[in-house]
Amino acid sequence: MPDDDRLPRSLPRKWKAVACALEEGDSLPALSALVEKALAATIRDIGGVPLINDICDQVHHTARTRCHALPLDGFRPDLSLKHDRLPQTDVAWCRARVLLETRTEELAADLKQTRHRVAVSVVRALAYHFGFGRIVPALIDRAPWTADELRERCAQALSQPGIDKLADCLLRRPDGQGVRAPRRERLSVEAMLGMSLEDLR
């Protein structure tokens, strides 16, 4: 990318690398690795999501209450939002509310799975809030894909196993300190030859 004027000047270096990879049509494994590094750096830079475990626990408790309590006069237990003026906390509460409305029974079943599911959703939302949300509009006319294909590519990158590992790391380190992108094994030539073009794209 020759000029810096296509993307917001405040876009962090690692997200600029993601933008270049999207624009140049890099393979999904290469793009995913860059996204994971950019996300890990973002989580460290913003100080993590300090309330993430409290949010997960409250989602699980509220989901269980909804599943086991009879609704009285239309009352439904809801989340008791705690605010700390951090944008990432607002992102986390927003994702928690959406999951609570759409997957109540799943969230009520198991606390560990609830924590993982909420954390993954939050990490993906952070990717859009701090990265893709600023990158995609600038690349729609320049990328090798249409707007829909570009959004699908972002979704593919956020559906890789490394995102789950980042989410688990965030749960262990809510302050973001020490969060790193998961290590990736280099693919051998034989493995690459055995992959389909769609997997490599």
Confidence of residue 1 (pLDDT cuts 50, 70, 90): very low
75 by DSSP, 3-state: which?
A: strand
Tell me the two tokens of residue 164. Answer: 């789950």
Q: Is residue 96 in a domain?
A: yes
The mean-pLDDT minimum among 15-29, 74-88, 149-163 falls in 74-88
Question: Rounded distance, CA 81 to CA 64, Å?
Answer: 17
**For all residues of the chain together, what is the average pLDDT?**
86
Whole-prediction pTM: 0.83
Q: Is residue 2 in a domain?
A: no
Question: Rounded distance, CA 44 to CA 174, Å?
Answer: 10
Confidence of residue 3 (pLDDT cuts 50, 70, 90): very low
Q: Is residue 40 in a domain?
A: yes
Q: Is residue 7 in a domain?
A: no
- Cα distances (angstroms) measured from residue 69 to each of 5, 82, 106, 110, 166: 55, 24, 16, 17, 34
The range of the structural domain enclosing residue 86 comes to 52-116
> How many domains in the chain?
2
pLDDT over 90 (residue 103): yes
Question: Rounded distance, CA 126 to CA 145, Å?
Answer: 23
Q: Is residue 8 in a domain?
A: no
Tell me the two tokens of residue 179. Answer: 């969060």
Residue where one domain finishes, among candidates 87, 116, 145: 116
Question: Rounded distance, CA 181 to CA 98, Å?
Answer: 26
| pLDDT at residue number 191 | 52
Q: Please indicate, yes or no, whether residues 112 and 144 belong to a single structural domain of this protein.
A: no
- Look up residue 183 and give its DSSP letter: P
